[in-house]
Amino acid sequence: MSARVLFMVVTVTVFAAIAHSDTPPKDGYVPDAETAIKIAVAVWSRVYSESEIGLEKPYRATLKDGIWTVQGSLPEDEQGRPQVVGGVAYAEISQKDGCILSIGHGE
């Protein structure tokens, strides 16, 4: 599935859920790390190249105060040290409604 199609599917799903409910589910529309990562990858793929984002696996998501922070990873050598110098993609996503609060790529 292309990034554009995935982005559209995620966006339509989130907005359809919001439109059919006055109150978000107890755990919000982004209840877990897997969902947060899918949203972030869909957005990153539109902004950065899919090949660049694919090199930043595994992705990590942490939840703090209702905000998911999703980040890519730098490739590591056998000792667990980064093989390249640079930054990774990141996104901040609201757990409650799936709103993208910020995205970027470290340098």
Beta bridge partners of 59: none
Reported as a single tens digit per residue, the pLDDT across 12-32 is 666 666 555 567 788 899 999
- For the beta carbon of residue 66, count every other beta carbon within 10 angstroms: 11
Close Cβ partners of 71 (under 8 Å, ≥ 6 residues apart) = 59, 60, 61, 88, 89, 90
**Which carries the bigger pLDDT value, residue 61 or residue 51?**
61
Amino acid present at 25: P
Residue 7 has pLDDT above 70, yes or no: no
- Give the SS3 label for residue 22: coil
Q: What is the DSSP string of 72-102?
A: ----B-TTS-BSS-S--EEEEEETTT--EEE
State the average pLDDT over residues 46-52.
Answer: 88
**Phi then psi for 52, rounded to 5 degrees?**
-65, -45
Instruction: Name residue, tokens 């996104």.
Output: 91
